[in-house]
Amino acid sequence: MYLLSALSLLCGLMLHGSCSAPNPLSSIRRQTVHYHNELKSFREDGIFNYSTMVVREDLGVLLLGAREVIYALDLNDISVKKTVVYWRVTEEKEKECIGKGVYEAECRNYIRTLHKLNETTMYVCGTNAFSPTCDYMTFVDGQLRLKEEREDGKGKCPFDPFQRYSSLMVADRILYSATYKNFLGNDPVLQRNPDKLHSEQSSKWFNDPTFVHMEFVGESFESQDGADDKIYLFFSENAMEYDFYSKVVMSRVARVCKGDTGGRLILQKKWTSFLKASLDCSLSEASLPPIVQDVFLLKNDDWRKSIFYTVFTAPSSLFQTSLVCAFNVSAIRDIFNEAKFKTEVSVENIYTKWVTHAGEVPVPRPGACINKTPDSSHDQTLQFLQKHQLMDEAVQPMTGGPLLIVKGPLLTRIVVDSIMALDGKNYTVMFVGTENGYVNKAVNYGGEMLIVEGIQLYEEPVPISTLRLSESKGQIYAVSEFGAVQMPVSNCSRHATCVDCVLARDPYCAWDLATKQCSSVTGVSNTALQSLKEGDSTQCPQLDPVMAVNLVLVPGNNIQLLCQAHSNLAQVHWRRSGQILRPNDKYHFADWGLLIVGASTSDAGLYICDSVEQTADRIHNRTVGSYQLQLSPADSTTVTSVDQDGFKVAVILLSLTCFSMMAVIIWTWSKGHLQCFKVAPSTSQSQVERNPLESRHVQNRI
Ligand SMILES: *[C@@H]1O[C@H](CO)[C@@H](O)[C@H](O)[C@H]1NC(C)=O
Ligand SMILES: *[C@@H]1O[C@H](CO)[C@@H](O)[C@H](O)[C@H]1NC(C)=O
């Protein structure tokens, strides 16, 4: 049985293996952890559209909103449901909504907003059949309760269950929201609630925007110059500043002052501090600017050192590319405080053009926080602000360019953790969700991008639509349409040997020489090994040498020697009697190993397979397979399987069942007729797993 299934799998994998191509190292995850059921997850039958989450470490619960329901799940194990509250639309509302021509499925209450108010109370909004409504919800004595103090949700929460928006609850129960505030979903607003201070209804402020994220930055803290706190809003919109015929979507950051009171006569009830600037996270090869998709603020006690980690995707469908750029809060502030403005000028009264504003800028500077009701001394400033919201200069990323570039399935969401490694330094670890159900864990080691691993959270290739991090629990919570999944920030025990552990270059993990285990850096003894930048494993105890597997060579047969590289970044090299083998008519290389076509007696000898991985300044070479081919009149089928240091090395001499199929494959292969499945548009993007014996390993690319 084993033999047959292994053989059929092998034959199948031949097709995959023969399509592999070298990969650009930066885009590949070093290790792929395929879907397995042990991950804690939550999903209920008949409940759909899981959307928003709030981590309440103080209450020990994860609040999860879905269509017409809110759950409180155990933060340690989200498969444990503590309590639930339903919030369904009334029949009357539903009828009214359908009457307006909306699809029945959308005339429900999609929970879109969940914010913490205080110890016991949350603020909740739902689309409520295209009639957004908010309410207070308590978690007391293990029970969730809606207080039924229904409030109008217009301008706080979208009408449309699909439309992206963002909102933010600031400690003093002030809700800032960036959403569309009408039924048709074409009237964007940045609004403060409950006083309803809002943006002007003008395409200069927002031009068909997609709102992505909002953050509060407490800039008044220990401020010398009495600076006010700020609200930052990330979004994309159609650019007005280019004279292109086709539309160009630009990524922006806007900010307003928390103490903004609105103008007296000019900009009455509207922001007097609204400014916006473009975000530059560019890719030299792309013609169109990448579009912002998600933002995570890594907070620092000194707000000037806080950093926005931002996911962008390149709009060109030909090369699916995603980028992560980091923007310093102080760099954004400098643009708003010091850079030039853009201004619109009319050209021969026929059309207008956007140029750098070269004239005087009024004092006080437009966009600066006024912090009291503006008086007539502010008139010029406010008049200027009515016409000039956009800065001339774009905000540049901290490191001058992207921290991470990923080709293949697009990145969707990001959370960022900071961890102190064994060397006493803090490392920033990015966890980035993808459109096909993975979370990639990535670190940038001084310019070298390393995707430590990619973990498949969902069996189905679904987009990750929300990500949250609980630092104190060391857990990440992800949401997709298939429910919520929880994963630890690290699982060091996956690395069985010292070399594996050190080469993983995971800042959370170190090899403890005392316990002989790969463990979390927070719990290791003082004799532990970690080498993040170099991946230096020379101090690891020597591995036992790989024993040669004896095989019988039957002249005329094809021989497969299997060999698995120790990571996706490693390449396999074969040696025979000290000579490096090169592909030719006899030797065919595939991801699963080596194929010797039509073996003859002269092919007897020792074959050694090395897995070679390069880090920034080091080459790691390790022997992972060794085969002694011997001539003998014995029978033609031998199966040998050994397990060395956690690597499964198996060898199968071909039986007749596989032979005919192999012949066909080789023929097609040599003719170049082989069709690859699922090969990315650019050949450099396909990634094939290298362990042909584990059936759950399938071809994938990141
Ligand atoms: C809600 O879930 C249903 C069923 O999975 C899906 O077809 C629909 O697209 C989802 N709608 C939204 C707004 O996510
Ligand atoms: C929390 O906020 C709610 C709503 O404003 C209020 O009714 C309640 O008294 C507050 N509870 C505490 C403990 O402050």
pLDDT at 655 > cutoff 90: no
pLDDT band at 317 (very low <50, low <70, confident <90, very high): low
**Average confidence (pLDDT) over 639-657:** 35
Q: Give pLDDT tens digits for 342-359.
A: 999 988 888 888 999 999
Query: Which DSSP helix (H) or strand (E) runs through 379?
Result: helix 379-387
**Average confidence (pLDDT) over 645-671:** 38
For 521, 565, 616, the CA distances from 517, given in Å and listed in that order, are 11, 22, 25
pLDDT at 135 > cutoff 90: yes
pLDDT at 555 > cutoff 80: yes
Q: Is the CB of 136 under 6 A from ligand 2?
A: yes
pLDDT band at 447 (very low <50, low <70, confident <90, very high): confident
pLDDT at 648 > cutoff 60: no
How far, in Å, CA of 353 to CA of 340, rounded? 16
**What per-residue confidence (pLDDT) applies to 346?**
86
pLDDT at 232 > cutoff 50: yes
For ligand 1, the distance from its centroid to the CA atom of residue 478, given in whole angstroms, is: 17
Q: Is the CB of 659 under 6 A from ligand 1?
A: no
CATH number of 201-399: 2.130.10.10
Query: DSSP of 625-637, one letter per residue?
Result: EEEEEEE--S-S-
Query: DSSP of 497-510, one letter per residue?
Result: SHHHHHHHT-TTEE
Q: Give pLDDT tens digits for 480-534.
A: 999 999 999 999 999 999 999 999 999 999 999 999 999 999 999 889 999 999 8
Q: Kindly identify the ligand whose nearest atom is closest to the C-alpha of 66.
A: 1
For ligand 1, the distance from its centroid to the CA atom of residue 458, given in whole angstroms, is: 17
Closest atom of ligand 1 relative to the 162 alpha carbon: 13
CATH number of 548-671: 2.60.40.10
**Average confidence (pLDDT) over 41-63:** 96
How far, in Å, CA of 50 to CA of 65, rounded? 6
Q: Give pLDDT tens digits for 2-15.
A: 433 333 333 333 33
**What per-residue confidence (pLDDT) applies to 647?**
33
Residue nearest atom 8 of ligand 1, based on CA coordinates: 49
**What per-residue confidence (pLDDT) applies to 286?**
55
**Average confidence (pLDDT) over 93-105:** 95
Q: Which of 47, 49, 462 to mutate to test the pocket of ligand 1 (most atoms within 8 A of CB)?
A: 49
**Average confidence (pLDDT) over 205-217:** 97
Q: Is the CB of 162 under 6 A from ligand 1?
A: yes
pLDDT at 432 > cutoff 80: yes
How far, in Å, CA of 327 to CA of 296, rounded? 10
Least confident among 101-110, 280-289, 445-454, 668-677:
668-677
Q: CA-based Rg of the chain, rounded to a whole angstrom?
A: 29
Q: Kindly identify the ligand whose nearest atom is closest to the C-alpha of 112.
A: 1
**What per-residue confidence (pLDDT) applies to 348?**
85
Q: What is the pTM of this model?
A: 0.85
How far, in Å, CA of 542 to CA of 156, rounded? 61
Q: Does residue 566 or residue 474 have the better pLDDT?
A: 474
Q: Is the CB of 151 under 6 A from ligand 2?
A: no
Instruction: Say whether 357 sits in a helix, a strand or coil.
Output: coil
Q: Is the CB of 120 under 6 A from ligand 2?
A: yes
Strand duo 448-456 + 29-33: pairing:
parallel
Q: Give pLDDT tens digits for 520-537.
A: 999 998 899 999 998 888
**What per-residue confidence (pLDDT) applies to 546?**
86
Average pLDDT, the chain: 85
Closest atom of ligand 1 relative to the 110 alpha carbon: 13
How far, in Å, CA of 308 to CA of 253, rounded? 11
Q: Give the closest residue to 607 by CA, choosing from 621, 595, 619, 591.
A: 595
pLDDT band at 446 (very low <50, low <70, confident <90, very high): confident
With a pLDDT cut of 70, the percent of the chain lying above it is 85
